[in-house]
Structure 1
Amino acid sequence: MTSSLQEVGLAVKRLQWRHHRAANARLAELGLSLVQWDVLRHLRREPEASLHDLAVLTFQTDQSMGALATRMVKRGLIDRVQGPGRAVRHRLTDRGEDARRAGSALMDEVLQASFGALGPEQVDQLHALLTLTEPEPENAP
């Protein structure tokens, strides 16, 4: 039996939902939410990211990311630093890096339950399939 694209899409959504629930439960042990850990993860990859950049990367609105960043600054997880002009940038604190590292270990455990049976080539193939971009139209400039 061949699965329909709708069935595959729904299976991906259900898997994402299970990951979010499990991740939030495990990260709560560290006093983090999935979104907070995701902010820490992105700041590790993109030091001094702007509030807007973080909002886009974590699927938040600028307003909700601003409120989240304020809470994270108060907890000592991130710092605000002056960027060019009036720009405000963000970076990890030592405490934030410790939380990111601990959260990453928990996330690996959560994801291992879903993908641990896959070999390295299968993981690479799955990643490639999930990150495909829509091809440009033939007559695009």
Structure 2
Amino acid sequence: MADRSEAEQVGLRFLTSAFRLRRVVDRHMMASGLSLARAKALQVLDQQGPLRQASLAAELDMAARSVTQAVEALERDGLVERTADPTDRRAKVVVITEDGAAALAAGLSAGERVLQGVFDALGPEQLETLNGLLATIDERVTTA
């Protein structure tokens, strides 16, 4: 078992690498017109269909106020539409538009190209090992 300082050093290196990768993916996605954060909201709507804003917030693990601001910005850009929920006029239902779906496809494609370029440097065995290690880390994080 690695001593604590070695584990901490590797953990910090992991966090730094993940942050850098996220920043590069986000930069490339933004060049195609959609940030990673905005893509996540659109992706949930694309996969699950129309959702109440409260449900979207829960899916994104975000505060309701933050999602409201994000949805308002997406709506201004024509990427989503909001309507009153027919069963509860106080609630808003959010749906992705055709322009939103097109922006999502372009953004995801840009992000995928970056990830492909980065992870292509690993061979199949390395990818399998990394995938297993990430699964172990994810499991530990969810139980922490």
Q: Shorter-chain TM-score: what band?
A: 0.7 to 0.9
Change (3 A) 1:56 1:14: farther
Change (3 A) 1:65 1:129: same
CA distance in 2, matches of 1:47, 1:73: 16
Change (3 A) 1:8 1:47: farther
Deviation at 1:94, TM superposition (A): 0.8
Indicate whether 1:82 and 2:84 are aligned: yes
Identity of aligned residues (%): 24
Unaligned runs of 5+ in 1: 136-141
Change (3 A) 1:58 1:8: farther
CA distance in 1, matches of 2:32, 2:60: 19
Indicate whether 1:16 and 2:49 are aligned: no
Change (3 A) 1:58 1:2: same
CA distance in 2, matches of 1:54, 1:80: 12
Change (3 A) 1:38 1:2: same
Query: For residue 48 of structure 2, what is the aligned residue in structure 1?
Result: 46
More relative contact order, 1 or 2 (CA 8 Å, 6+ apart): 2
Deviates most, 79-88 or 18-27? 79-88
Deviation at 1:123, TM superposition (A): 5.8
- Note if contact 1:35-1:58 (Cα within 8 Å) is conserved in structure 2: no
CA distance in 1, matches of 2:137, 2:46: 23
Query: For residue 139 of structure 1, what is the aligned residue in structure 2?
Result: none
Q: TM-score by structure 1 length?
A: 0.77
CA distance in 2, matches of 1:118, 1:58: 32
Query: For residue 63 of structure 1, what is the aligned residue in structure 2?
Result: 65
